[in-house]
Structure 1
Amino acid sequence: MRAVRLSWPASIARHALLVSTATLVLAPVVWMVSLSLKPPGEIFRASFTLLPEQWYAIENYTRAIAVAPLPRFLANGVLVCSTILLCQIVVCAPIAYALAKLHFWGRSATFGLVLVGLLLPHQVVALPLFVLCWKIGILDSYAALVLPFVVSPFGIFLFRQFFKSISDDLMHAARLDGYSELGIVFHIMLPLARPAVIAFSILSISSHWNDLFWPLIAVRTEELMPPALGVITFRNEEAGSDYGPLMAGAAIIMAPLVIAFLAAQRWFVDGLMLGSMK
């Protein structure tokens, strides 16, 4: 496909829009990292400097780890996010395969319900989910953090779009070799859809790693809190208004997501682009 060459005014306007958007997104992150390096006296100074005059990074990051159990919060985040992701792939991939490759009565209506699920914010169903978790007795547990997110409408949609781009001849050949439909999904479709799996994994992990709304409802025990909820606990305890350790804790919690995205950004873009081509 031939690339479309933009005129100079259009190119300048596009780059200006990209730079301004990137500035709005990165400014809070830069501010957070800058405050995590400064002593309290420089944080509340009227004039702002990006780099501190007196480096206070070791003190802030050491206190951030000492004041709140950040390693436990991070471990909870890894456990919860990885469990949610694994369950979503196991559940969403067969559903997406059925919607993309199998012909059955009500397939279009089922896909329409998936699209409706994409439009519903999670907060809309929070109250019924809370009552359900209370009825089955899993509140204040890891199960309460995982169960409401096992089915992802976005995951079903993304996998379906990618599966539709795969030739049906592969399925016919796999059936002749004795594969079941689930075997086709997990041994053929998912390996071929690796860019989509990586893209969905990044979106799922970042969403649930940063989720504050549902964990704030579902758990009360500090040992079960994921990173986003753990920051609130840290802020309300010994740190008080000492924003240096608070920003250091936030930077530590954000670092795994940044590293994961930078490591997989090529597959992330490919997964979204290939899925959007159908």
Structure 2
Amino acid sequence: MTHSGFSLGRLLRLALLSFGALLFLAPYIFMLSTASKSQSEIFSSSLSLIPEHWFLLQNVTKAMTKVNMSGLLFNGVVVCGLILFFQVLIAVPCAYALAKLNFRAARLMMALVMLGLLVPIHATALPLYVAFNSLSVLNSYTALVAPFSISVFGIFLFLQFFRAMPDDLIHAARLDGMSEIGIVARVIVPNAWPAITAFAIFSVVGHWNDLYWPLIVVSNPAYATPPLGLLYFRGAEAGDDYGALMAATLIITLPLLLAFLFAQKRFVEGITMTGLKG
């Protein structure tokens, strides 16, 4: 009886998880299906996920030739890589100071961090645009990277992780004569890779998919990020070719999928250890 109940429970959980997975994968399945169809089949009256004739290779070829796909992917890697580098470089010492150092303004700084989580990029977009325009740095990596170099969410996430680290480890490092910067570089960072990996996934996915800010500061296709490149593709000749458009979308989302699969274990570890579980 117990065994059958246990099996029934497992079947129910498996069914629920499978349904959830299918729900989340549905857009990707639809993209793959559309990218594998010819233009006439996409607009046919019959709706089928499996194409009658496979046009995936042709659509991928169109997507690679209609826009500078390699340039878009390169810009995405550079922008996301620079943003992540500066975010970690700034957030780790800030979070360490809030978590492990005693100073007068600690509570005020913590309150400012919490308030900073409430401020969206949309609220600061206009003054940032005016400032970048006056500095003549629009259509540059500086305009794409600078507004996101400080991540309040990153400070908050690392803060939760550092609070769980034993103080004895830091005291031992101080007794060995390490400076606070040395402690951060040689003790904190090597032990914080799960949290850094978890934050990296959040950061890279968020900024790789960001269309709002690049749409504001970039008008030169040479600096276009992948989502902005899809708009250029849509406006190009034969931009109504949805099969090729979906193939371009698949190409752009593939690096994110591979990155998450590669870092999945550390991502789960980082979320668990920072206490940000749902």
- Interval containing the TM-score (normalised by the shorter chain): over 0.9
Q: Distance between the aligned counterparts of 1:140 and 1:277, measured in 2?
A: 36
- 2:80 corresponds to 1:91: no
Q: Which residue of 1 aligns with 2:184?
A: 185
**Shift in Å, 1:51:** 1.8
**Shift in Å, 1:73:** 0.2
- 2:34 corresponds to 1:27: no
Q: Distance between the aligned counterparts of 1:93 and 1:254, measured in 2?
A: 28
Q: Deviations over 1:13-72 (max 9, x none)?
A: 766654444333221111011111111111111222222111111110001000000100
Q: Distance between the aligned counterparts of 1:135 and 1:94, measured in 2?
A: 31
Q: Which residue of 1 aligns with 2:225?
A: 226
Q: Which residue of 2 aligns with 1:137?
A: 136
The answer for unaligned runs of 5 or more in structure 2 is: none
**Shift in Å, 1:132:** 2.2
- RMSD of equivalent CA atoms: 2.0
**Shift in Å, 1:144:** 0.2
Q: Which residue of 1 aligns with 2:236?
A: 237
Q: Deviations over 1:115-162 (max 9, x none)?
A: 111122221221122122223321111100000000001100111111
Q: Which residue of 2 aligns with 1:128?
A: 127
Code of the aligned partner of 1:141? S
Indicate how the Cα distance of structure 1 residues 13 and 99 shifts in structure 2: closer, same or farther if over 3 A, else same. farther
Q: Distance between the aligned counterparts of 2:216 and 2:97, measured in 1?
A: 34
Indicate how the Cα distance of structure 1 residues 18 and 121 shifts in structure 2: closer, same or farther if over 3 A, else same. farther
Q: Which residue of 1 aligns with 2:77?
A: 78
- More divergent stretch after superposition (181-190 vs 210-219): 181-190
Query: Normalising to structure 1: TM-score of the pair?
Result: 0.92
* 1:196-235 superposed matches below 5 A: 196-235=195-234
Contact 1:239–1:245 (CA<8 Å) still a contact in 2? Answer: no
Q: Which residue of 1 aligns with 2:269?
A: 270
Q: Distance between the aligned counterparts of 1:24 and 1:136, measured in 2?
A: 46
Q: Distance between the aligned counterparts of 1:249 and 1:64, measured in 2?
A: 5
* 1:97-176 superposed matches below 5 A: 97-176=96-175
**Shift in Å, 1:11:** 7.2
Q: Which residue of 2 aligns with 1:3?
A: none
Indicate how the Cα distance of structure 1 residues 178 and 232 shifts in structure 2: closer, same or farther if over 3 A, else same. same
Code of the aligned partner of 2:150? V
Indicate how the Cα distance of structure 1 residues 277 and 168 shifts in structure 2: closer, same or farther if over 3 A, else same. farther
Code of the aligned partner of 1:104? F
Q: Distance between the aligned counterparts of 1:170 and 1:272, measured in 2?
A: 22
Q: Distance between the aligned counterparts of 1:214 and 1:243, measured in 2?
A: 25
- More divergent stretch after superposition (134-143 vs 227-236): 134-143
Q: Which residue of 2 aligns with 1:39?
A: 38
The answer for unaligned runs of 5 or more in structure 1 is: 1-5
Q: Distance between the aligned counterparts of 2:118 and 2:63, measured in 1?
A: 38
Q: Deviations over 1:200-248 (max 9, x none)?
A: 0111001000000000001110000110111110111023211011000
Q: Which residue of 2 aligns with 1:48?
A: 47
- More divergent stretch after superposition (8-17 vs 239-248): 8-17
SS at match of 1:151: coil
SS at match of 1:119: coil
Contact 1:145–1:214 (CA<8 Å) still a contact in 2? Answer: yes
Q: Deviations over 1:165-207 (max 9, x none)?
A: 1111111121222221111112110110110000001110010
- More divergent stretch after superposition (6-15 vs 67-76): 6-15
Indicate how the Cα distance of structure 1 residues 21 and 117 shifts in structure 2: closer, same or farther if over 3 A, else same. farther
Contact 1:239–1:246 (CA<8 Å) still a contact in 2? Answer: no
Indicate how the Cα distance of structure 1 residues 178 and 221 shifts in structure 2: closer, same or farther if over 3 A, else same. same
Query: Normalising to structure 2: TM-score of the pair?
Result: 0.92
Count of residue correspondences: 273
Q: Distance between the aligned counterparts of 1:132 and 1:9, measured in 2?
A: 62
Q: Which residue of 1 aligns with 2:194?
A: 195
SS at match of 2:30: helix
SS at match of 2:73: helix
